[in-house]
Chains A and B, each alone.
Chain A
Amino acid sequence: DAGVTQSPTHLIKTRGQQVTLRCSPKSGHDTVSWYQQALGQGPQFIFQYYEEEERQRGNFPDRFSGHQFPNYSSELNVNALLLGDSALYLCASSLEAGGNTEAFFGQGTRLTVV
């Protein structure tokens, strides 16, 4: 079991550009959540996808959007990048059935906006 895999591991973008980050959930998981972890801070919830729809959203602007595919993998898109978007982006997967399962995290994508 490969666990949660994210790609790419590192990325450098220029202010104003757009970026797409990818996540493959742990085998058997159907729910994907995305978090932003700024340097020295705890992860902040961006949004969660289940059954290919955004189910819950944190306090992030519309520049942040996502998608979930039929195989449960997910993408995070950020438009019009700002310097403040520089952070570690973490993907977490879990299983909806049972309601209270733990989330498994990937190693993250380190995004640097210059």
Chain B
Amino acid sequence: GDSVTQMEGPVTLSEEAFLTINCTYTATGYPSLFWYVQYPGEGLQLLLKATKADDKGSNKGFEATYRKETTSFHLEKGSVQVSDSAVYFCALRMRTGANSKLTFGKGITLSVRP
């Protein structure tokens, strides 16, 4: 079945450091890819998405590029802030409406020190 694999965490960085969170996927077709963020005590918020190969999603300084050849969707940010501390989930969804469930990775906790 479809699956998402995220790098093991947690990750602790100093403010203004560069961030990379790895995500790879396995899917039978051509999924849309997502990064969701979960702040403490809250639900999930969509951070960015990409719907086809070579698309780059971006939001709030975060970026991720849909790499079909490596089945990856790594999340990057050039300079993290304390406010970026949260849990980050990579997810995929197949395109058809009747099979539109999201499949999530296990998530990774990011802590940013001042």
Which residues of chain A have a CB within 8 Å of any CB of chain B? 4, 6, 31, 33, 35, 40-45, 48, 50, 55-56, 58, 90, 92, 94, 96, 99-100, 102-108
Contacts and interface: CB of A to CB of B under 8 A. Distances in A.
Given A42-B106, A100-B95, A58 B101 contact: yes
A53 to B, nearest CB: 11
Interface of B: 4, 32, 34, 36, 42-46, 49, 51, 89, 91, 93, 95-107
B49 A102 contact: yes
Nearest to A106: B43
B49 A43 contact: no
A48 to B, nearest CB: 6
B11 to A, nearest CB: 15
A56 B46 contact: no
Interface centre among B44, B98, B104 (most CB of A within 10 A): B44
Contact of A96 (B45, B51, B97): B97
25 contacts: A4-B43, A6-B43, A33-B101, A33-B102, A41-B106, A41-B107, A42-B104, A42-B106, A42-B107, A43-B44, A43-B89, A48-B100, A48-B101, A55-B98, A56-B98, A56-B101, A90-B43, A92-B44, A99-B100, A100-B51, A100-B95, A102-B46, A103-B46, A103-B93, A105-B43
A45 B103 contact: yes
Contact of A42 (B89, B95, B97): B89
A102 B102 CA distance: 10
Interface centre among B45, B91, B97, B103 (most CB of A within 10 A): B97
